[in-house]
Structure 1
Amino acid sequence: MKVLISLLAAIGLVSPVLADEVKVAVAANFTAPMQKIAAEFEKDTGHRAVVSTGATGAFYAQIKNGAPFEVFLSADDETPAKLEAEGAGLKGSRFTYAIGKLVLWSAKAGVVDDKGAVLKKGDFAKLALANPKTAPYGAAAIELMKKQGVFDSLQAKIVQGENISQAFQFVSTGNAELGFVALSQVWQDGALKSGSAWIVPASEYTPIRQDAILLGKGAGKPAAEALLKYLKGDKALAVIKSYGYDI
């Protein structure tokens, strides 16, 4: 059998390294970069990443309830640490793959100024953000507004998305004039893709350290371990940086 596989590999009918797939739970803010990374990962390793995106808090509940994910890319560092402490994540596998940035964004030019003064003016009807109970970017937005003393006056205007993707959708479709989203959703290759934005200074909210962890179901699986290694490599880091994240 080994001889047959070697012969087939020699003529290109099978890969000398058996490909595998890895089921990955990915925080919604990291959707676009992960799509690019997954494509490069498959080209370079032969392994396929099957990606599901959503809110970090929702993924935590799913993982605890036995969801088949093997790798988790969270939007914070607390959730992976909790999973590790509870035995659902492998000790020693956790690391920060990106540091997220919060941005106040409007799909229209000229709506959001580069200092965020529009928040204090309050001359808009709806302000979108992700559910702060399940999405770290939503929690960061609430923290910022409270720090700036505008939360009480804006609370009635807030519309919550289930996750950061839905918050982005509210703004991009015009259902909310502006909203707090992840910089990665509106930024690529060093520039804002459209609209107007205020990149919130990092000093205004608790750092959004985004950690990855190998889950129990991924232990000993080549594709899962390969993906975590790949995320630390130059190709993946270049993609991550291009979407505005810090490393």
Structure 2
Amino acid sequence: MKKTLVVAALALLASMTVAHAEEVKVAVAANFYKPLQVLVKNYQQSSSDQVMLSVGSTGKLYAQIVNGAPFDIFLAADQKRPRKLVKAHVAVAGSEFTYAKGRLIFWSKQPKLIDGSERYLKEGKFNKLALANPKAAPYGAAAVATLKKLGLYNRLKDKFVFGQNIGQTYSYVSYGNVQQGFVALSQVYRNGKISTGSGWIVPNHYYPAIRQDAVLLSKSADNQAAKKFLAYLQSPKAKQIIHSFGYDVSDK
């Protein structure tokens, strides 16, 4: 009889835990997808809430949100779209914050091809150059700004191969469809160094700062699970993980 009561109590406790678990739907810019997977895994070690991810370019995710996509949180690759959502009352005023500052790298999967400087890029002895669509992806806009800063845009523009977002751009280069291109540093950087291939980390002053903002969407203003996850993203542990992928997490 006692054993039956214990089993029943455990079953009730399990059902209560499941009942209190909530689902958080996050729209995330492609550059931050890999770091966010690690963050979610860490977060769910201490939370029963389920974090569901939808990845794409900032521009396309923004359009989906404006058209009523059922997301709770938007992790953009810029500040412009979250601010526009707040202004349009689609996102909660005061909920936005910069969760990371992105870095750009000119990268190739081929080791030793790029010597850590802009020399190979300036030589231009290649047929294709991958970059994300600058109209939809902030990292693509940063690549264009870099090329203009170096005076290379007009000379190289006929070689551009555009990815819909930085994730697709990375795929072009990592699978060898294009030998080199501009990708997010976070895609090829782990624990203080480029983890694979070769590249030139573009100096910050070559392109406008890529301040990536998070925002809570208005339809989820009372979603406590979404609020808890946003709070976690601002925690020291989360910032440590984000920094390990090459992002700047300073408050300046």
Band of TM-score, shorter chain: over 0.9
User: What residue number does 1:76 align with?
Assistant: 78
- In 1, the alpha carbon distance for the partners of 2:129 and 2:106 equals 9
Amino acid in structure 2 at the alignment position of 1:157 = K
- In 2, the alpha carbon distance for the partners of 1:70 and 1:11 equals 28
User: What residue number does 1:93 align with?
Assistant: 95
- In 2, the alpha carbon distance for the partners of 1:163 and 1:12 equals 41
Greater CA drift, 108-117 or 206-215: 108-117
Amino acid in structure 2 at the alignment position of 1:200 = V
* TM-superposed deviation, 1:110: 1.7
| 1:123-202 to 2 correspondences below 5 Å | 123-202=125-204
Amino acid in structure 2 at the alignment position of 1:79 = R
User: What residue number does 1:36 align with?
Assistant: 38
Q: Any idea what SS the aligned residue of 1:66 has?
A: coil
- In 1, the alpha carbon distance for the partners of 2:216 and 2:233 equals 12
Amino acid in structure 1 at the alignment position of 2:195 = K
Amino acid in structure 2 at the alignment position of 1:207 = A
* TM-superposed deviation, 1:14: 3.5
Greater CA drift, 228-237 or 203-212: 228-237
- In 2, the alpha carbon distance for the partners of 1:89 and 1:43 equals 28
Residue 56 of structure 1 pairs with residue 58 of structure 2: yes
Q: Any idea what SS the aligned residue of 1:177 has?
A: coil
Amino acid in structure 2 at the alignment position of 1:39 = K
User: Closer, same or farther in 2 for the Cα pair 1:246/1:240, shift >3 Å?
Assistant: same
User: What residue number does 2:119 align with?
Assistant: 117
Q: Any idea what SS the aligned residue of 2:45 has?
A: helix
Q: Any idea what SS the aligned residue of 1:246 has?
A: coil
Q: Which 5+ residue runs of structure 1 have no aligned equivalent?
A: 1-6
User: What residue number does 2:240 align with?
Assistant: 238
The runs of 4+ residues in structure 1 deviating greater than 4 Å are 7-13
Query: What is the RMSD computed on CA atoms of the aligned residues?
Result: 1.6
User: What residue number does 2:4 align with?
Assistant: none
- In 2, the alpha carbon distance for the partners of 1:34 and 1:24 equals 10
User: What residue number does 1:3 align with?
Assistant: none
Q: Normalized against structure 2, the TM-score is what?
A: 0.92
- In 2, the alpha carbon distance for the partners of 1:15 and 1:9 equals 10
- In 2, the alpha carbon distance for the partners of 1:72 and 1:11 equals 33
User: What residue number does 2:6 align with?
Assistant: none
User: What residue number does 2:229 align with?
Assistant: 227
Residue 106 of structure 1 pairs with residue 108 of structure 2: yes
Check the 8 A contact 1:9/1:16 in 2, yes or no.
no
CA deviation profile, 1:128-160 (whole Å, cap 9, x unmatched): 000000000000000110111000010011100
Amino acid in structure 2 at the alignment position of 1:189 = N
Count how many residue pairs are aligned between Structure 1 and Structure 2: 242
* TM-superposed deviation, 1:162: 0.4
* TM-superposed deviation, 1:13: 5.3
Q: Any idea what SS the aligned residue of 2:28 has?
A: strand
* TM-superposed deviation, 1:113: 2.1
User: What residue number does 1:4 align with?
Assistant: none
Percent sequence identity is: 48
User: Closer, same or farther in 2 for the Cα pair 1:167/1:13, shift >3 Å?
Assistant: same
